[in-house]
Amino acid sequence: MLKYVPVDSPVGRIWVGASPRGVARIWLPGERPCGVLENTEFAELARTQLTEYFALTRRTFTVPLAIPEGAFRADVWRGLAQIPYGKTVSYKDLAEVVGRAKAVRAVASACATNPVAILLPCHRVIYSTGEVGNYRGGAWMKKKLLLLEGANIREEA
């Protein structure tokens, strides 16, 4: 069972869920956390790092993650961790990075199911046209996160 804590942010209240191995889930505003409202070492570390990120004093995360490994989705999630702060890549670019150049839709699906959004920055993946595209928390949230990081995105996107 996950233990979770709230984190207030510029995009609304998010929740960090942690297991004994690390952070396993981020619930975005409007999503309902499940588990037990209780602090843990990993949840508190993630809360601190997310607070620093939103205060513009942190660009990378070092909190241990407890997410599934060994499958295509995990390869995509590891690829997300390589996208620099304030930069964007296309779904096509990410597909090439993970060695599956023709699997653009599967990469998009893996981004959509990223259990630890923000910590693994799926918000940095956009359409090849420069449009922001979809996001679990809504396109407005994706755009806000990118603008927070100073990313160069199309304003009308």
Residue 85: strand, helix, or coil = coil
Residue 59: strand, helix, or coil = coil
Catalytic residue among 24, 65, 122, 141: 122
Residues paired with residue 26 on neighbouring β-strands, in sequence order: 16
User: What does the block give as tokens for 43?
Assistant: 């949840």
Q: Is 34 a catalytic residue?
A: no
Q: Shortest CA distance to 98 belongs to which of 113, 86, 110?
A: 110
Q: Shortest CA distance to 31 belongs to which of 8, 20, 15, 49?
A: 15
- CA distance readout (Å), 34 to 17, 54, 111, 143: 8, 24, 21, 27
User: What does the block give as tokens for 95?
Assistant: 């597909």
Hey, which residues are catalytic here? 122
